Structure 1
């Protein structure tokens, strides 16, 4: 069975990567679906976010990367996907994600959401925290892969020079 793991991934973190690796033990294929969320301002372009994820999973043949805009359920229906993977860090995540799972089920009866709790070492980690730590000269090696840190450095330097 195929499963979709949607998110903004701006940038992809070790927490995201861990959820995908663990999910790939149970599903035949994981589609990491990089979305455009009209409520968010992104540091990385859609193309850049996709590439960072592809590079993160270059040795995992079960993982594919795609992009979409609009409702997740419309994308799922178009590709005949039924399973959604969502990572949970906190009780707050659960409340929000449970609401989204019910909404998705209401809009697309064939969908099922599978929750995977983050490992304790990633339970606080988010893309926003990564950017904040980086902007304040914090150490990122435990939070993101090396290639993402390099891209973040280049992106921040380019932004400062503009």
Structure 2
């Protein structure tokens, strides 16, 4: 069994679905490195410092978790840390198609890489950061969608683009 895995993402913000995948990954791995992508091309809603703080608050009660940011190729990050296992969450068929393509692309860059796909529990399967952002942006209640430890969410600039429901 591999001792560590990387769970990458923008975590913009971290949701109960993300937390569910993190808890599941901990049952298979001794350590989960949560790698938060700076990813300015996605124009994140929350800045990187706020996203790191939110993930740390949400996972403070979990052992063997490391929260870090990265601003390079995931493969380069994984190689530098010598962690050849990536965890990805799958909610729907549309996630699978995208994640499969990314998994193959990453594997083409590093032969030792394995991508492990985990499905969140049924109660978290519909939750995505974009749904949370849209509800939050429009003043809706997100308390059932995100870890209670991160509430209230940090302030954001109203000019941010937001996916609509």
Give the TM-score normalised by structure 1.
0.91
Q: Secondary structure of 1:65's match?
A: strand
CA distance in 1, matches of 2:98, 2:41: 16
CA distance in 2, matches of 1:4, 1:135: 30
Q: Deviations over 1:75-107 (max 9, x none)?
A: 011110111000000000000000111111100
Unaligned stretches of 5+ in structure 1? none
1:58 to 53, 57, 60: 60
**What's 1:75 paired with?**
77
Unaligned stretches of 5+ in structure 2? 159-165
Say whether the 8 Å CA contact 2:87–2:115 is kept in structure 1.
yes
- CA shift for structure 1 position 130: 0.4
- CA shift for structure 1 position 124: 1.7
**What's 1:132 paired with?**
134
What is the alpha-carbon root mean square deviation over aligned residues? 1.3
Number of aligned residue pairs: give it.
156
- Per mean C-alpha deviation after superposition, the further-off stretch among 99-108 and 141-150 is 141-150
What pairs with 1:16-35 in structure 2 (closer than 5 Å)?
Answer: 16-35=18-37
